Amino acid sequence: MGGIFGAVSRSGGNVVPLVVTGLERLKYRGTDNSGIAVAREGRLEVYKDTGPIDVVARKLGLDKLQGSVALGHTRYATHGRPTAENAHPHVDCGRRLAVVGDGSISNYEELKDKVLLNGHRLTSRSDFEVVAHVLEEAFREGRAPEALPGVLSEKLQGFFAVAFLDASTGSIYAATTGPQLFLGASRELFLVSTSKYAMHGFAERYREVRRGEVVRVSSEGVEVYTGAGVGGLGELQPLHLDPSLVEKNGYKHHMLREIYEVPESLMRTLSSVQKKYLQLAARLVTGADNVYIIANGTSLHAGMVASYYFSELVGVNPVVVSAAEFPLYYLENIGPGSLVLAISQSGETGDVLSSLYEAKLRGATILGITNYVGSRLARLSNLYLPIAAGPELAVPATKTFTSTLLLLYLVALRASRQEGRIDEDTLNSKLAAVAEAARQLGEWLPKVDSEASKAANEVSECRGGYVVSRGLTYPLALEGALKLKEASYFHAEGVEAGEFKHGPFVLVEKGFGVVFVVPVEKVSAEATYPLVGMALEAGAKVVAVGFAGDQSLEALSEKGAAVVAAPPAERHLAPIVLAVPLQLLAYRLGERLSRPIDSPRYLTKAVTQ
C-alpha cells in the first residue's frame, strides 16, 4: 500500500514543502519508506530512503529542495522489503520518468522477466519499478501520452493506482484501476493524491480520477486521456472538509476507517499475491506429513476458519493451536515432514516467533502469513505470503482479519486445484466471486453500518452477552466476542451453537445480549434457529447477523431480533463478509460507550513478549 501526493505549481512556485505536508497526512497508509521526485530544468532528481517522511526529509535535507513539479510517496512494504532500494519513486533507465504506486501489479513476475529480456536494469524488488520500464518503452515508441490508457490496461494487471512524473515536460500523469485517486485544483496548483483529505487547504476543488482515464497535469493545465481521445479537467466539486479528520482520512477512529477499507483490502490481497508463490504454498500444504496452524488472538480465529477450508477443499485436517500452547505438547510430533503455518498480522508476536524457532530446530518447514514483510516472521519463514491489507493502526484487528481469511482461502483453492478436486473454471469462478463480494460489500457498508449502530443501541444496556454460531462461521463467534471486548469493553463470549444448551444458556435472561451469526450450512442453521427463539423468550436482547435475503433472518426480525444483514455471498466467503457487521457492531458499541476504541487499555498492537 502507498500514499501518493503530487503537485504542480501553475506559476512556477516551490511545491516541495506542500508535497512533504501531503505525505505526512498520508502516514496512515504506511511509513516504511518515503520518497520524492522533482523535475528541474528537464532533469529528474529523486530522494528516497527508509522511514516516515519527516525522518527522510530531515536526513536528506528536503527543506532545501526546490521544485515547481514534485511527486511524493509514502510506502507500506508488500512487494519487496522496506529497504531504500524498494522505496518509490522508481526511475526508468533514461531517468526521464519517476513512478510511484499504490496497490499491486499482479503480473509483476512476468513483466519483470520481459523488461529484463528487453535490456532494462532493475535495482529493486518493488513491483512498481517494472512500471517505470513499461512506460519508458511506451514513451520511446512514441505511444505516449495518447496511447497510455491502452498501454496501462494491456500491459499491467492488478488493483493499483499509479502516478509518474515526466521530467522532460514537467508533467505528472495519474491513473487507477480501482484504488481511490483524486485530482485537485486551485488558482495556483494542480494536485494528485490517493486521499482528498491530504489536499485540505491546498486544493479548492476536486474530483475522483475514473478507471480508464490517464490524467496529465502540468503548469499549463490538465489533459485527460481515455481510449476515445483527449479531454479537459471535467467537472470539479468544492473541497470542504473537517480539518480534524485529515489524519484519519475522514473517519473519527482508525478502526472505523480500517473497517471501511475492508473491501479495498480484499482487492489488494487478491491482486498482490503472485500465482507462483501461491502455488508453492499450496504444494507445502498438500505435501506435508502433518500441518499445524499456529497464531494468537484474531489470527488464531483466522487459522480456525482455514482448517475448515483445508478440510473441505483439500482433504487436509490441520491442527490449529494457539502459539502459546504449541511448544508445550505439540513439538514432539514436529519433524522434517511437518508444515507449520504461522499467521501473524504484525509478524512480531512473541509466542509465534518462539514456537517457530523450536519448530525450525526440528526441521519443520515454515509457511508464514503476515501483513508486515519486514517482520521477523517473514525472515524466519521458508516461504511467506503477504496479507497486503496495508497498515492497521487500531489495536482491534479488522481489515487484516478479512484479508488473512481471503489469503488462506486462496491457498486452499489453489491446493484444491492442484489436487484435481476442482477444475480451472471452478477456480476462476470462485476468484470472480471474491471480487464481486468485495464490490458488493463496498456498496453495502453504509447500510450495514447503520443496522449495526441500531443493534449496538439495543445491547448497550446489557451487562454482557454471547456471540453464537456454528460450522464455518463458528470462529466468527469467537472473533466477534473478542472485538466486543476490545472495542467496547463489553464482556462477550463466543459459543458454538451446539454447545449452547450444554451450559451457556443458563445465563440468558433480561439484560443479557445474544448475537447470532446465522450459520451457512443448512443443517447448522436449522439447529440454531430454535436457540434464537429460546433466547428471545428468556428476555435477552437478540441480534441476528446474516446474509440479506435469507428468509429466516427476516422471520427473526419479526420475532424481535435486531437484524444486521450483509450482502449475500458464496458460502465460503461468509466468514469474510459476515465479519464486517460484527466489527461494526463492536465499533458502534464502543463509540456509544465512549471507549478508547483505537487503543484499549493494557493492549498493544503486537504482543512481543
Cell of 159: 488493483
- Residue nearest ligand AGP, CB atom distance: 297
Task: Between 133 and 301, name the residue whose CB sits nearer to ligand AGP.
Answer: 301
| Residue among 230, 215, 225 at smallest CA distance from 172 | 215
Task: Between 176 and 349, name the residue whose CB sits nearer to ligand AGP.
Answer: 349
The 3 state secondary structure assigned to 328-380 is HHCHHHCCCCEEEEEEECCCCCHHHHHHHHHHHHCCCEEEEEECCCCCHHHHH
Minimal distance in Å, beta carbon 503 to ligand AGP? 25
How many residues in the chain?
609
Cell of 424: 480451472
Cβ atoms of 69 and 38 closer than 8 Å: yes
Give me the numbers of helices (H) and strands (E) for the chain, helices first please: 18, 25
Minimal distance in Å, beta carbon 397 to ligand AGP? 4
Minimal distance in Å, beta carbon 346 to ligand AGP? 3
Minimal distance in Å, beta carbon 257 to ligand AGP? 15
Task: Between 245 and 607, name the residue whose CB sits nearer to ligand AGP.
Answer: 607
Write phi, then psi, for 326 (nearest 5 degrees): -50, -50
| Residue among 200, 193, 211 at smallest CA distance from 73 | 193
Task: Between 272 and 296, name the residue whose CB sits nearer to ligand AGP.
Answer: 296
Minimal distance in Å, beta carbon 381 to ligand AGP? 14
Task: Between 548 and 593, name the residue whose CB sits nearer to ligand AGP.
Answer: 593
Peptide bond into 89 cis (omega under 30): yes
Sign of CA dihedral 420, 421, 422, 427: negative
Minimal distance in Å, beta carbon 590 to ligand AGP? 12
Determine the Cα angle at 378 with ends 413 and 124, to 5°: 95
Minimal distance in Å, beta carbon 383 to ligand AGP? 18
Minimal distance in Å, beta carbon 300 to ligand AGP? 7
Cβ atoms of 271 and 438 closer than 8 Å: no
The 3 state secondary structure assigned to 417-434 is HHCCCCCHHHHHHHHHHH
Minimal distance in Å, beta carbon 358 to ligand AGP? 17
Task: Between 216 and 257, name the residue whose CB sits nearer to ligand AGP.
Answer: 257
Task: Between 222 and 256, name the residue whose CB sits nearer to ligand AGP.
Answer: 256
Cβ atoms of 203 and 186 closer than 8 Å: yes
Write phi, then psi, for 104 (nearest 5 degrees): -140, 150
Task: Between 325 and 419, name the residue whose CB sits nearer to ligand AGP.
Answer: 325
Q: How many CB atoms lie within 10 A of CB 423?
A: 11
Task: Between 17 and 327, name the residue whose CB sits nearer to ligand AGP.
Answer: 327
Task: Between 70 and 323, name the residue whose CB sits nearer to ligand AGP.
Answer: 323
The site for ligand AGP (CB under 6 A) is made up of: 296-299, 344-346, 349, 352, 395-397, 486, 606-607
Cβ atoms of 536 and 542 closer than 8 Å: yes
DSSP states along 557-583: HHHTPEEEEE----GGGHHHHHHHHHH
Task: Between 151 and 356, name the residue whose CB sits nearer to ligand AGP.
Answer: 356
How far, rounded to the nearest angstrom, does the alpha carbon of residue 106 sit from its chain's CA centroid? 15
Minimal distance in Å, beta carbon 597 to ligand AGP? 11
Minimal distance in Å, beta carbon 319 to ligand AGP? 18
